[in-house]
Amino acid sequence: MSLPPLQSSPPPAQPFQGLVVVELGHSVAAPFTGLILAEMGAEVIKVEKAEGDDARRWGPPFWEGEGAYFQALNRNKQSVVCNLRDAQEVAALRRLIAERADVVIQNLRPGHVQQLGLDAATLRADKPSLIYCNLGAFGAVGPLKDRPGYDPLMQAFGGIMSTTGEPGRASVRVAPSIVDMGTGMWGAIGILAALHRRHQTGEGQTVDVSLFETAATWVSLLAGQVMASGQQVQKQGSGAPGIAPYKAYATRDGEVVISAGSDALFQRLCGVLGHPEWATQARFIDNPQRVAHQEALYRLIDPLVAARPTAHWVEALEAAGVPCAPVNTVGQMLEHAQTQALDLVHPVPGTGMRFVALPLSLDGQRPRVRSAPPALGAHTQQLLFPELA
């Protein structure tokens, strides 16, 4: 008696192999959701206007013909061009979704997908198993639901910028697109939850995430302090409210961050600095006292740290078990032995490009780049109009 053949399973780092995702996305948030799914094996079909995703032109720098932003966000995808003002092309897109898509993600301007009949309600009525993810600006309801939004606007509106920068100086945007990319992460998490539910029930879901909700979540620890104290959080520079000493210090040749967030760590730090007596002074005896007297504390520590190079402090502090880190440039981070040991930077097959990979491994395997970012419309005929091929 012969046994039935075993069904092959996806490689550990490609759990979404066989999943088909249609990305009606541009800029950062929706493309980052698509990238997460694509990197883990999904077939992601990126739908673009005739001139392409705006991010294709975000530069310099440009990298092998497109903006470096675009290239970093759109590897492992296919590109189709669809004129959303053309009824025939929109019908072809709807047919593609109905026949093949498991997931649709979109971050078009508010109301646009409803006008086109590409919204969740319309598409899920035809295909109840479809998972549909909206990545909006201000959320699905409320007085601002129809407003557009971008990362810097949401860092401002969501309270992040009010806490970022040096006291007494202008507010500063966090340089990485943490709100856009955070929203992309929440989109992927919501899709995972919906996929789990579909596995149990066969039904899809509509997932709603937004830039504002992400920004509010990023300040949730600070919001807890505001609600607990009734006082607004002030700019902290490189520090953190409620913990001291906990910031960056200028060294003789750079900067080092020292995080001595407990009484025991503070005692060790005092020993490294050559002043063990500070740890027993009433004004520095515990964290609440150190926070209350942090200006005096930093006036003592700053000149000591500034007198020696970064490498000296990193070696001395690590030997004493005090958490610290040099303030690396992005280039230094990319070339560091730890980055290389983790296999965090991957080459793109057939190109001279390389990108930072997803920050996760599955059974010890990190998802890898399988294909280069697509040329604009490279897969239009194959996917939207196969009858013409």
Question: Does the annotation mark 180 as catalytic?
Answer: yes
The distance from CA 12 to its chain's CA centroid, rounded to whole angstroms, is 23
Crossing angle for the helix pair 178-201 and 211-218, to the nearest 10 degrees: 110
Matching residue, tokens 């705006």: 54
Measured from the Cβ of residue 284, the count of other Cβ atoms closer than 10 Å reads 24
Whole-angstrom CA distances from 156 to 150, 152, 160, 212, 241 are 10, 6, 6, 10, 19
Q: What are phi and psi of 96, to 5 degrees?
A: -60, -45
Q: Cα 387–388–389 angle (5° rounding)?
A: 95
Classify residue 272 by burial, with Cβ atoms within 10 Å: 0-12, 13-18, 19+.
buried
Matching residue, tokens 């026949």: 99
The active-site residue, picked from 53, 151, 180, 208, is 180
User: Is 349 in contact with 301 (CB distance < 8 Å)?
Assistant: no
Bond prior to 31 in cis (omega within 30° of 0): no
Task: Provide the annotated active-site residues.
Answer: 180
